[in-house]
Amino acid sequence: MTADRCLLFVGAHPDDESFGPGGTLAKYAQQGVKVYYACGTRGEVGEASAEHLAGHASTGEMRSTELACAAEALGLAGVIYLGYRDSGMTGSPNNAAAGALAAAPLDEVTGRIVKVLRDIRPQVVLTFDPIGGYRHPDHIAIHNATVKAFQAAADAAQYPAAGPAYQPQKLYYAVFPKTLLRAAVRVLPLFGRDPRRFGTNHDVDLVSLTNVDFPVHARIHIPAEAARARAAASACHRSQLPGMPSDRGPMGIVMRVMGREEGFMRAQPPAPGGRLRETDFFEGLV
């Protein structure tokens, strides 16, 4: 039955698959599930040093190369680009640039995701939570379009050019563990880091995220082999590693412990009574 299983993660940038649900993607791939990544952009706005850009014609090309490396490490069956441009963080002039994902019409983005769903026919779909994890406009755009596409894919009258109708069975949102987030807010100042200015570009306010919570309905255990694949995939995104937590020190210990499990909210079908405890996305599927 595993050979018939297919899982799709819909994200926004090269590295979302590794720094997000990378352990889960690797675990299922190692079990023989066909795992795909539909990536909204090529991360054109991401900053990179001259060292990382060497041999690449552009930032987008460099980050696509990094994603190809990560996809191999995770064992993905394929990466599908949706063809948009990176929008940068909220308030950036890139938000409104021609072709930017955040500025694209919702129906258009939805149609491109519908085509992916109908082409590869996954039983399970993963994407960002409603605030895009940390309020990145591209993440939010992908969330909104994926939610709409999940329903639209089964309606032959919608997006008829995208292929025969198909209905995925489950939709999950990747949920960042608040325990880890709160630990990060406490630990980072000990290393001279400001949790209100986190990330490569110091534009992520971790403190503001500790007050936003989503239920966790599925907890996926990450075995050692999948954890190693996740680490290898993360290392592929060399240009994005500055500003990310190191494996060394107290914060690295917290991340290793918390990284043994990845949490998800089940959006479709809704959790009965709002409560649900799953350990496998394919649980209950025929």
- Convert the pLDDT of each residue in 212-243 to its tens digit: 889 999 999 999 999 999 999 999 999 988 65
* Residues whose CB is less than 8 angstroms from the CB of residue 178 and which lie 6 or more positions away in sequence, other chains included: 210, 213
3-state secondary structure string, 208-225?
HHCCCCCCCCEEEECCHH
Range with lowest mean pLDDT among 65-69, 77-81, 102-106, 274-278: 274-278
Q: Are 184 and 196 in contact (CB under 8 A)?
A: no
- Residue at 136 is within a domain: yes
> Taken in order 123, 129, 135, 141, is the CA torsion positive or negative?
positive
- Residue at 51 is within a domain: yes
- Residue at 159 is within a domain: yes
- Convert the pLDDT of each residue in 120-149 to its tens digit: 999 999 999 999 998 999 999 999 999 999
Confidence class of residue 251 from pLDDT cuts 50, 70 and 90?
very low
- Residue at 17 is within a domain: yes
The pair phi, psi for residue 5, each rounded to 5°, is -80, 145
- Residue at 203 is within a domain: no
- Residue at 187 is within a domain: no
- Residue at 257 is within a domain: yes
Helix ranges restricted to H, 57-105: 59-74
- Residue at 61 is within a domain: yes
Mean pLDDT for 184-206 is 79
Number of domain units in the chain: 1
Confidence class of residue 199 from pLDDT cuts 50, 70 and 90?
low
More confident residue, 259 or 141: 141
CATH of the domain at 164: 3.40.50.10320
- 92: pLDDT strictly greater than 60: yes
**What domain range includes position 242?**
2-177+215-272
